[in-house]
Structure 1
Amino acid sequence: MTILGPKKLTAKGPIGLLAGWGRYPLLVAQALKDSGQRVCCLGIKDHADPVLADLCDDFQWTGIAKTGKQIRYFQRRGALHATMAGKLFKHRLLFHSGHWIRHLPDWHCVRKVVIPHFITRSKNCNDDDFMLTAVDMFADGGITFGPATDYAPELLVKPGSLTGIRLTEDQRQDVQFGWHVAKQMGQLDIGQTVAVKNRVVLAVEAIEGTDACIQRAGELSNHGKFALIKVAKPKQDMRFDVPTIGIGTIEALIAAGGRVLAVEAAKTIIIDEPQVAEIARKHGVTVVAIHGDDQGVCLEAA
């Protein structure tokens, strides 16, 4: 793949897309189509939007653990470069048998994932190790995964206040405190989001996801005007698990009584930014994108 400037990417063959839940895969697919690329998409069952079948040049449903089938799908269509986009509901996949049945592993996945991660325990079961195993499996099949933001860089949030509302001094202190905690949680591969009020941690995101973390913070604070901080992991691999916010995030925050949403600039994906900003302004919520570092020091707060 040849990079021609910050927004124009070309590849000789089609681009493979492994699509999870949400609008993000749709936006990536559209960006690829707009740039003249053909798109071969594997939609994760129970997750991907069926609209992808019409948007992409080739589409097929897949279980998350059908890795051998997935590799062959891309190989047969000449998609030697691929990307992944969209959310996976990990708690459903891991702990709800009704969902897991639709995603039973094929033999390739048993050998490469199930045995080392769950039986011999030679590999860890955290998110990053799972995802690195996945991209290595595809690489062994001649398929290179790259960041989806290479194809849609405009989705990475730029620094500054999205709403034009600046942080108060108390909010700034909460954000700086929460930034440090969130970076530590990311280092441990637990989650990327924390909720803070008066320099007290209300909730930490884990497998349940951001919206459930927000709801818990609202309940614990009695809807008490808390701050939500969402950051990239230290040394974030931009190919997967990149922090993402959208309309659902801001609506959940408002419903829970949150007053601040702080994210990491240039390392957070924002879906439907104009609508997010409009909703936040209407409800007096401050949304800021901030530069920082992996040691947890918030270098600037808008």
Structure 2
Amino acid sequence: MRIAVFIILSCLIGNDANSQIHKRYLRQGNKAYADSNYAAALHYYNNSFDTASTYNKAQFNLGNAQYRNMDFQGSMNSFAMQAEKSIDKKEKAYAYHNLGNSYLAQYQMASKMAEQASPDTAQMLAQAGFNYLKESVEAYKNSLRNNSTDDETRHNYALAKKLMEQMQSESKGGGENDQNQEQEDKQQEQEKEQDQNKNKEEKEQQEQNREQQEGENEKNDEQEQKGDKEKGDEEGEHGETDPKKLSKQDAEKILEALKNKEEKLHQKILKKKKPSKVIKIEKDW
């Protein structure tokens, strides 16, 4: 009987000691968490959870420490387990709320990685980000089902839902955008080719006009040279007085002088000639 009592008492003392240990770890973890020493807090919460795996506070705070250390996959697991086994609706609502935050943080990380990734990797990250958003929306819904008066949860739910709808819209219009971009590029290429052809035609037309103008200029020069030669010939015939020919005025003067000389000569001849004898002829009847 004494042995049984001793055993029972020993068990009670041992259980009480374990209870005090996991609570002590929890207090140490809370202190480190308050000091923003999240790595140390994570260590103490893990010890507390390992000592008493059914201790909900240790698991909940463990999820918070994992979240602060940016171990979002770990925090998602911790909050999901806490939400599943918690009986209290308020604790369940908190667990789902933090689960939604973890999914949302994971989406943000995937989006930043996609900005610097190759096209194929970026597409995979975008799909993963969409799935994280979808899970966060569902987690916030479950939180509101257990506590519909939490304004912070309602705000986060609206934000996650809006981001998810935006991604759906972009994904739906992605094919159309690619097709429109391809069509636009094709149209720009056609316009560029048309401009090149137009420039080529204008250049050829300018060259043709230039050659035609040069031909006309050469023709005009030949005509001008021919005109100058003909004009020179005409001036040679009718312009300056030919020394072998008399002008009309000079010819008239010469004729007048000859006429006067002839008249004088005629008068002189008349004076020298004797008058003829006049014979009167009468009819003999």
TM-score normalised by structure 1 residue count: 0.21
Structure with more relative contact order (C-alpha pairs < 8 Å, separation 6 or more)? 1
Larger radius of gyration: 2
More helix by proportion, 1 or 2?
Answer: 2
